[in-house]
Amino acid sequence: MALLQISEPGQTPNPHERRIAVGIDLGTTHSLVAAVKSSVAECLPDEQGRVILPSVVRYLSPQNGESKRQIGFEALQHIATDSVNTIASVKRLMGRGLNDITNREKLPYKFDASQSGMVSVVTAGGVKSPVEISADILATLRYRAEDSFLDDLYGAVITVPAYFDDAQRQATKDAAQLAGINVLRLINEPTAAAIAYGLDNAAEGVYAIYDLGGGTFDISILRLTQGVFEVIATGGDSALGGDDFDRVLADLITQKSGYTPQTANEQAALLHEARRCKEALSATEKIAPQAINTPATGQKIINITPIEIRRDEFVAATQDLTNKTLTAVKKALRDAKLSKDDIKGVVMVGGSTRMPHIQQAVADLFGKAPLTNVNPDEVVALGAAIQANQLAGNGTGGAGDLLLLDVIPLSLGVETMGGLVERIVPRNQTIPTAMAQDFTTYKDGQTALALHVVQGERDLVADCRSLARFELRGIPPMVAGAAKIRVTFTIDADGLLSVAAKELVSGVESQITVKPSYGLSDDQIASMLKDSFSTAQQDMQSRALIEARVDADRMVLATRTALEADGALLTAKEAADIESHIAALLEAKKSEDAAVVEAATKELAQATEAFAAQRMNSGIAKALAGKNIETI
């Protein structure tokens, strides 16, 4: 008798075998890798015992035909002396075009947008895309993990900001692939933090995850129930983070000292010093900015007149940035249909939440002190490690079954006649998901259909973001409205989209995996929801007018087709009357009032009722010609 080797789905047959899976927090300022060891998630250190890896890469001129680079702390030492070739905060360039980068005149890099839609950076080691730079950081973390376990890496869960769009998520997956990492899943950073916090503290209830990192801000409202992590709503700003607080403080230093940086190195050195002052102001009420010297020669890079920066000055200067985060929090609460009193606790994530005035602002908004008993730098990587351990089939390390229900931040749909958006997947829809809607053809004999996939909350295509275009060809010729075309949107657990279209009568189908261009404005995704609220009335009016005009065109087309086929049934007076109603409708179409267009369409429909009856009678008479009652 043969024996079956039995294992749980997704798990290895032998209990003693373990796949090496890690969680990676690919951060703007620094990155970490974590794994579950002995049922406990922990961050993996480098040879010097440091768990944090600065997200900085320096590219040097090739030597002996081989490229040379420095990564992490080694590169960070040169950020003020070789700023052009030392790339920091590359996460803010992921999935971005040249025109989408704010404050690029203050950045020391030489940009190149000639190779692809996504901007690249010109360095001594060649032109480097954000994907390549991120891949160097990810590869370093991969080697650290493999050195820790003395084994190959099976896969990784990589975290991204909740408000990362498709282009940024795809760029992150591309970077991981380039680094030789099998991506088990992309998960949102606030969700990863909730996993770590919830499992570590056995928390249940509704929590807000306030995540202010180096380059991005996210707010997520989650419900934690017996190992189920359900994201109710999410919001944020993909172009707001600690870097922006640094720039404001740098401007304050130049304003008070009269010093203005003259070179790229001086600008980078000033930002580096501003960050040091910002971190110091979290523990002290005032700080004196210092000059920075070149390590090799001791020559001063910046020479600041002795001044003091007080914490209250910094708080006042950055009030607008703080308020932006609070506005996003209020929107997320509205989306979740909750009040601040429904929130059991607020988890603070990201190094920038260490600023006392940020913690105070959050406490004032919610009426309760935020939860700070988790390390804001490590919690995202730890949560990703727990998820990775489960996805690798290693079990959950004693934490129980874990179900993760994430959401998409913005609605997805297709363009319909008149440049309107028909939403198929609404924002805050739980993923993974698949949703479909049926459409039909507009003209007689139409054999192809062009599909335009868009993302956003506005009613007009022009106000939303274009994601992809593809065509469904081979539709059998039918009268307008007879074809039944089902468009299906499928969003995977990484938040990436594929769209399929199928004509149900003939079975003809077409599909596309949406790999968007890398050129979305940093401000666009953060402002889409705001625009949708502020312009709701205008959008409704525009939509109604466009729909009325489309109906008018359809009515005119159908009437003229009927006149061409059976105009002989009408007297000259009857034909002239219908033509006058057609002319009146075409004139009414110019109106900006939907009611006017609808009224004229209705009048044409009424004017052609008798003609329609005549056509029907004529058709019946032709069908019965030459037949007797017995045959029928």
Q: Dump pLDDT digits (tens) for 404-449.
A: 666 676 788 888 777 788 888 887 777 778 888 888 877 788 888 7
Determine the pLDDT at residue 533. 52
Strand blocks (E) in 139-227: 155-160, 183-188, 205-212, 217-225
Contact predicate 230/405, CB 8 Å: yes
Quote the tokens at residue 516. Answer: 């968007």
Residues 100, 132, 136, 189: which is the catalytic one? 189
- Using the 8-state DSSP alphabet, how is residue 216 labeled? -
The overall pTM is greater than 0.75? no
Confidence grade of residue 3 (pLDDT, cut at 50, 70, 90): very low
Tens of pLDDT, residues 437-482? 888 877 788 888 788 888 777 778 777 777 778 788 888 888 877 8
Beta bridge partners of 92: none
Residue 554 has pLDDT above 60, yes or no: yes
What is the pLDDT averaged over residues 255-263? 81
Determine the pLDDT at residue 525. 40
Residue 99 has pLDDT above 80, yes or no: no
Residues 132, 211, 457, 463: which is the catalytic one? 211
Residue 1 has pLDDT above 50, yes or no: no
Give dist(CA 584, CA 604) in Å, integer. 9
Contact predicate 605/584, CB 8 Å: no
Contact predicate 68/125, CB 8 Å: yes
The answer to whether residue 457 is catalytic is no
Determine the pLDDT at residue 66. 58
DSSP letters, 106-155, are GS-PEEE-SSSSS-EEEETTEEE-HHHHHHHHHHHHHHHHHHHHTS---E
- Using the 8-state DSSP alphabet, how is residue 605 labeled? H
Distances (CA, A) of 183 to 345, 458, 476, 518, 606: 31, 33, 41, 20, 61
Determine the pLDDT at residue 2. 47
* Phi, psi torsion values for 158, nearest 5 degrees: -110, 135
Residues 25, 132, 136, 244: which is the catalytic one? 25
Residue 172 has pLDDT above 80, yes or no: yes
Confidence grade of residue 566 (pLDDT, cut at 50, 70, 90): confident
Could you give the maximum distance between any two Cα atoms of the chain, in Å?
112
The answer to whether residue 342 is catalytic is no
Residues 46, 82, 91, 132: which is the catalytic one? 91
Give 520 or 430, the one with higher predicted confidence: 430
Give dist(CA 593, CA 599) in Å, integer. 10
The answer to whether residue 110 is catalytic is no
Question: What's the angle, vertex CA 117, arms to CA 500 and CA 516, rounded to 5?
Answer: 15
**Residue whose structure tokens are 């609070």:** 326
The answer to whether residue 189 is catalytic is yes
- Is the peptide bond between 432 and the residue preceding it cis, with omega within 30 degrees of 0? yes
The SS3 call for residue 304 is coil
Give 166 or 129, the one with higher predicted confidence: 129
Confidence grade of residue 524 (pLDDT, cut at 50, 70, 90): very low
Residue 452: which residues within 8 A CB-CB, separation 6 or more?
Answer: 414, 415, 461, 466, 468, 469
Average pLDDT of the chain, as a whole number? 81
